[in-house]
Every structure is written in C-alpha cells, then in structure tokens.
Amino acid sequence: MHTACPRCDSHRIIQTHYGRKVGGTVGTTAGAISGAVSASKGARLGYTVGAIAGPTGAASGAVLGAIVGGLSGCVVGVRLGEKLDEDVLQGYRCLACEHRFSPHPSS
C-alpha cells in the first residue's frame, strides 16, 4: 500500500496499531474473565465428560471455558481496536512532519 502524507506529500509513512494492540489485550483479558465466570457451561460439560473421564474433566471444562472466552474476546477486541485505529486514533503517521491521518482510501 502506497500512502502519501496529505500535508507534506512525504511517503515516509508508518502505520500505527495502537488501538489494535490495546483492543487485543483488553479483549483477551475481558474474554478470559467472562469465560472463567461463565465457565459453568464448560464445567457442566466437564462434569458430563467427567462422569466418564473422572474429576479432572470438570476442571478442564472450566479451563476450556476460560480459553474459549479469551480467544473470542481477543478477536472482538482486535476488531474493536482496528475500528478505533481507523476512526479515532488515525492509523497512519508521517515521519517527516509527524502528521497523523486516517487511512481512508481517496479513490
């Protein structure tokens, strides 16, 4: 992608992923917490499996709930962060004049 600075027309542009990084971290944490909290579903599944596999099944069910929650939370967080990067945080920065601008395609 070739992007020029709208202010000074420089091509020394870097893309910032601040929102994406923050969104991913926040999303993963929030997802893992809500996954662990709502792990009753996973635990219940674990208990069902646990009837066959033993008491470790319940524990791994809860862990599975946290992992699944964390993963889906990360995906949502990264998407949210990408939107933030585009709309709020302005995804590009000019190294020549420090101008920040949004990656809205002009053509």
CB 31 within 8 A of CB 98: no
CB of 63 to Zn ion, least distance (A): 49
CB of 45 to Zn ion, least distance (A): 55
Beta bridge partners of 92: 15, 101
Give the total residue count for the chain: 107
2-61 binders of Zn ion (CB under 5 A): 5, 7-8, 10
Rounded to an integer, what distance in angstroms lies between the CA atom of residue 31 and that of residue 77?
A: 9
CB of 43 to Zn ion, least distance (A): 55
Rounded to an integer, what distance in angstroms lies between the CA atom of residue 42 and that of residue 40?
A: 5
66-105 binders of Zn ion (CB under 5 A): 94, 96-97, 99
The binding site for Zn ion (CB under 5 A) comprises 5, 7-8, 10, 94, 96-97, 99
